[in-house]
Amino acid sequence: QGHAGPSHAAPSYADLYFARSTDGGKTFSTPVRVNDKPNTVRPLATSKPRLVVGANGTIHVLWVAIRQNADKEVTVLLDMHYARSSNGGKSFEKARALNTDRNLHAIDHMGIRAEHAFQGMAVTPKGEVHTFWIDSRDMSKESDKAAIYGAVSKDDGKTWLRDRMVIKTDVCACCQVTAASGKDGAVYLTWRNIFADGSREIVLVKSTDGGKAYSAPVRLMEKKWVIEGCPLKPASVAIDGKNNVWVSWYTEADQPAGAYLVVSTDGGKSFSVPQAVQANVKGADHAQVVPLPNGETLLAWDARIGETRSVLMRKAALGKGVALSEPMMVAAATYPALGVAANGIVYCSFVQNGRLMLQVMKTEQLTALK
């Protein structure tokens, strides 16, 4: 829910709400505001709030908040805020800023003096909460390369360690990061990296020691998408029941330009040959990937079909390579988001005619794998 604000990039303030369904999406609870201070959420489609439900039911939410200068000038600071609910979303604890409260960045970029945004979050089975965001505090006027900072909670979000730099440089400044955790507690992080030749492609790192150290970045595609400026295209990452790592992302390094899919069966050390999510169209985008309880993986994305952009789905499974089912049309819509319950019920939300809609279906309703 947005409100008019000062004249800077994305000139609006907003509130973030949570609603829950306990009857398979037929009805929802009365929306509860997550941010305790009203009109402080920065609404941005490319820096979406992150919501993760822990194994014990704790609801964790991470979002970008606006903190205006004391002199009320247009220039603002963007903070990384976190809140949690331990009562099923009936209420949320007071939001807390996870980034260090300092402004070392002297560049005023589109009215923003310092930025902690484009966030990702992963919660391990033991209740460790790992948060990440792209941070501008160490950027220079000569480069658009940013860093990734993060903060970790070892006790289900009750208390937090001080934020620290996770990835030093070469981070594309506006492609949202994505994080996920497997059953083994490993934490995976993806971002779009800026390489020396000017190409910008997704890379992945892994931590097996609670976020103290991360592996060397692994590039998902060797072909190069050279682009001047940030494409605002994040990845989607999911860990299945066998700890296989599935990643989907947008690139124009190959044909057709659009979303691609890879999987790693060795913990992110290497990946399969990239496959186009939908090979017969150009511009498949906003792909999301989630594991299904039956061991398969579900993909959703949007693409232009005729004169209309539509949301589509297909399943993927490991065999001799990656097998894909036929794409299935869901709705004339954009920006899909996926969730799968333990009983196999699939929830797909999307934007249709300016409204947030939800489609509920059973796994057996999805197109079968060939």
Q: Check which CATH number belongs to the domain holding 72 and give it.
A: 2.120.10
- The whole-number pLDDT of residue 241 equals 93
Task: Tell me whether residue 56 is in a domain.
Answer: yes
- The contacts of residue 318 (CB under 8 Å, 6+ apart) are 244, 263, 265
Q: Stretch 77-86: mean pLDDT, rounded? A: 94
- The contacts of residue 7 (CB under 8 Å, 6+ apart) are 74, 111
> Could you list the residue range(s) of the whole structural domain that residue 50 is in?
1-234
Alpha-carbon gap, residue 167 to 132, rounded angstroms: 10
Share of the chain above pLDDT 70, in %: 88
Task: Tell me whether residue 314 is in a domain.
Answer: no
Taking alpha carbons only, the member of 73, 145, 69 closest to residue 103 is 69
How many domains would you assign to the chain?
1
Q: Label residue 72 by pLDDT band (50, 70, 90).
A: low
Task: Tell me whether residue 287 is in a domain.
Answer: no
Does residue 301 carry a pLDDT above 70?
A: yes
Task: Tell me whether residue 325 is in a domain.
Answer: no
- The whole-number pLDDT of residue 11 equals 46
Task: Tell me whether residue 152 is in a domain.
Answer: yes
Task: Tell me whether residue 297 is in a domain.
Answer: no
More confident residue, 351 or 102: 351
| 23-48: burial string, b at 16+ Cβ within 10 Å, e else | eebeeeeeeeebbeeeebbbbbeebb
Does residue 101 carry a pLDDT above 90?
A: no
More confident residue, 30 or 362: 30
Q: Label residue 9 by pLDDT band (50, 70, 90).
A: very low
Alpha-carbon gap, residue 62 to 60, rounded angstroms: 7
Residue whose token pair is 């950027």: 139
Does residue 103 carry a pLDDT above 70?
A: no
Does residue 71 carry a pLDDT above 80?
A: no
Does residue 370 carry a pLDDT above 60?
A: no
Taking alpha carbons only, the member of 25, 144, 154, 5 closest to residue 66 is 5
